[in-house]
Amino acid sequence: MKSLEQLTDSVFYIMAALTEPRHGYAVMSLIEETTKGTFVVGPASLYTIIKKLVAEQLIQLHDDSDSRRKVYVLTDKGREILLEDIERRKVMIHLAEQGLQRGNI
Amino acid sequence: MKSLEQLTDSVFYIMAALTEPRHGYAVMSLIEETTKGTFVVGPASLYTIIKKLVAEQLIQLHDDSDSRRKVYVLTDKGREILLEDIERRKVMIHLAEQGLQRGNI
DNA sequence: AACAATATATCATTTTGTGATATATCAAGC
DNA sequence: GCTTGATATATCACAAAATGATATATTGTT
C-alpha cells in the first residue's frame, strides 16, 4: 500500500471480509472459502496487512474482542476507500471485456 | 507472478491493454488515460512485466514490430488467463458489495 | 493426557513494483 | 540543419508487498 490509492487484491479481500466484524482467522477462512481456494491469504500476509490497515485507520478493533480473538471491522474511512476501489475495479473489468469482445484483431 | 494463478492489478491492466496489438509506450499511455491518471504503470514496471509475460507466453511479439516499436499482443493462453481473472474479479466485487449492502452491523 | 483445530504473531526471504536514469528516434518549429 | 519535446525502450538499485516456515497458546474432542 503506497498510501491508499489503490488496494491490492489481498487488501481488498481482507477489507471486503471486514464489512462485518470478524477476527483474523475467520477472515482467512472466509477468503479461502469464498474463493474456493483460488486465493489464499496465509497468516503471514493476513496479520501483516491487518497491522497496516489498523495503522491507516481503515479497520479498527471491534468491542467484542477478547484476549483470544481480536475482532476487527471496517471504519467509515475504510468503507469509503473500499467503495472507491470497487468502482476502480469495475472500470478495470469493463476495459478488459471491451478489449476481448472486439475480436481482438 | 508466482506462476499465473491470479494476476496483479498492474499485470491485469497491461494484459487488458494488449487485447489489441500495442507497443509498450502505448500500453502505458492507455492505462494512464483510461484510469484518468488513477493508476500509473511507469516504464520500469511496464517493461519488467512485459518481459515476464513474454517469458510465460501470455503475450507475444506481433508481426508489425520494427526496431523502434515492439508491438505485443495477447496469446490464446493469455486471453484465457485474462478471462479467468475477470471472473475472479467479478466475484471479488460481488463479495465486497454484498458485505457493504447488508448494513454492516 | 493427547490431538486437532483455532488463533495470533513474527522472521527471513522472495516476489513485485518503482524512481531515477540512460539512450535513441522522430516530428515540429525556427 | 539544429534544437526541443514527445515517443520509445531499457535497466539498475531500491522499496513495498506478500509469503513459507515456524512459534506459541488456547479450546474442544476423544
Q: Which residues of B touch A95 (CB under 8 A)?
A: 13, 16-17, 34
Residue type, B47: Y
Which of these, B54, B36, B43, B39, lies nearest to B8 by C-alpha position? B39
**Is strand D in 7 Å reach of the CB of B91?**
no
CB proximity list for A78: less than 8 A, separation 6 or greater: A15, A18, A53, A57, A58, A59
Q: Give backbone dihedrals phi and psi of B7, rounded to 5 degrees, phi first.
A: -85, 140
| Number of residues that this document lists for chain A | 105
Q: What domains can be seen in chain B, in order of their start residue? A: 9-104 (1.10.10.10)
Residue type, A41: V
Residues B22-41 have pLDDT tens digits of: 999 999 999 999 998 889 99
- Residue B11 distance to chain A (closest CA, Å): 11
Could you give the percent of chain A with pLDDT greater than 70? Answer: 93
Which residues 33-92 of A interface with strand C at a CB distance below 7 A? 43-44, 47-48, 50-51, 68-71
Is A21 close to B86, i.e. CB distance below 8 A?
Answer: no
Q: Is A25 on the interface with B (CB under 8 A)?
A: no
Give the pLDDT band of residue A104 (cuts 50, 70, 90): low
Q: Is A44 on the interface with B (CB under 8 A)?
A: no
Q: Which of B9, B21, B83 sits opposite A105 (nearest CB)?
A: B21
Q: What is the pLDDT of residue B65?
A: 76
